Amino acid sequence: MLPLPQRVQSVRWLILDVDGVLTDGRLWYGVDGEGLKCFHVRDGSAIQLWHAAGRCTAIVSGRRHPAVRQRAAELNIAEVYEGVTDKGAALHELCRRHRLVPEQLCAIGDDWLDVPLFRQVAVRAVPADASPYLRQLADYQATAYGGGGVVSEVVEWLLRQQGEWERALQRFLDRSCRSDRMSDRTEEPPSPAAVFPPGP
């Protein structure tokens, strides 16, 4: 196996678990079953920055939840595998469809079910509160806990290692500014009556 600094250079895809990585791993149940999922806004910004740098993201989760699909759509993550009992098989299918090789992949996981992912990627990352076994397998351990900005930390680490951080950040900020300007132009100003409604 190549040294980590060399392995990092070829990474172009992030493979993300949900519970324990994008969330804190707790399952909130009501009378109708599992209710809410809570995602960190910094992780969303980091995924958008990762995409602005020309990289891609996939989600591979052992559970299903409508909020996962909704969040993935917001972040333009097209590859979402939910209800997966064999995460290794799901990743194999993703690689087959996109003609990917392990050298292009970094997985972020937190528990034993993510071991099959870790066996098929070049770089393995975990949150600070991952299971002890996964922490032993990891190439990078974030300081953030699951659901607390883990993806943001890993994205910055990867891009800095690749020498792409400043360029990617500027590209992301430029896109955000252009998007804000477009929103300003397309928004109709409120009518004077709405701002200053007539008196009684």
The tokens 């034993």 sit on which residue? 112
Q: For the whole model, what pTM was predicted?
A: 0.85
How far is residue 176's CA from residue 98's CA, in Å, rounded to a whole number?
Answer: 28
Is the pLDDT reported for residue 19 higher than 60?
yes
Is the pLDDT reported for residue 40 higher than 90?
yes
Is the pLDDT reported for residue 33 higher than 90?
no
Class of CATH domain 9-163: alpha beta
What pLDDT was estimated at residue 180? 59
Q: pLDDT (tens digit, 9 = 90+) per residue, 149-189?
A: 999 999 999 999 999 999 999 999 988 777 656 544 544 44
Give the whole-number percent of the chain exceeding pLDDT 90. Answer: 75
Instruction: Tell me, letter by letter, the H, E, C secondary structure of 32-46.
Output: CEECCCCCCHHHHHH
What pLDDT was estimated at residue 192? 41
Q: Which of 23, 9, 116 is nearest to 71 (CA)?
A: 23
Give the count of beta carbons closer than 10 Å to the beta carbon of residue 95: 19
What pLDDT was estimated at residue 188? 47
The tokens 């993703």 sit on which residue? 94
Say which DSSP state 99 is in. Answer: T
The tokens 């993510």 sit on which residue? 114
**What six digits make up the tokens of 82?**
């939910």
How far is residue 62's CA from residue 180's CA, in Å, rounded to a whole number?
Answer: 36
Q: pLDDT (tens digit, 9 = 90+) per residue, 94-123?
A: 999 999 999 999 999 999 999 999 999 999
pLDDT (average), residues 123-131: 97
Residues whose CB is less than 8 angstroms from the CB of residue 72 and which lie 6 or more positions away in sequence, other chains included: 59, 78, 80
